[in-house]
């Protein structure tokens, strides 16, 4: 079983598109929450993301990973694949 990956996005956000492209290139299936203009959903995301309201926000197995730059940094360190390979306990 693969990791559960969730991403909060806006449809036209370039950072959201870039983050989704990285996940897609890695063959990762993810749940996308498009929250364009939905402040209730954005507030829920911010609660999960320790107050961060920028987009995207990415979670792997309910662990907050961060945004696009955070995800690319994890990938550059070779840690993203470890998170993606881990199963939810």
Q: Distance of CA 46 to CAs 49, 52, 76, 79, Å?
A: 5, 5, 26, 24
pLDDT value at position 86? 81
Q: Return the SS3 of 31.
A: strand
pLDDT value at position 88? 59
Domains and CATH numbers, the chain: 5-85 (3.40.30.10)
pLDDT in tens, 10-20: 999 999 999 99
pLDDT value at position 89? 46
Joined together, the tokens standing for residue 64 give 């907050």
Q: Return the SS3 of 66.
A: strand
Decide if pLDDT at 57 tops 70: yes
Q: Is the dihedral of CA 43, 45, 48, 49 positive or negative?
A: negative
């Amino acid at each position: 079983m693969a990791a559960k990956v969730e991403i909060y996005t806006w449809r036209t956000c370039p950072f959201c598109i870039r983050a989704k492209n990285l996940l897609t290139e890695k063959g990762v299936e993810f749940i996308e929450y498009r929250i364009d203009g939905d402040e209730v959903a954005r507030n829920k995301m911010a609660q999960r993301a320790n107050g961060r309201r920028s987009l995207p926000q990415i979670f792997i197995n309910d662990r907050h990973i961060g945004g696009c730059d955070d995800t690319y940094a994890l990938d550059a360190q070779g840690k993203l694949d470890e998170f993606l390979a881990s199963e939810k306990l």
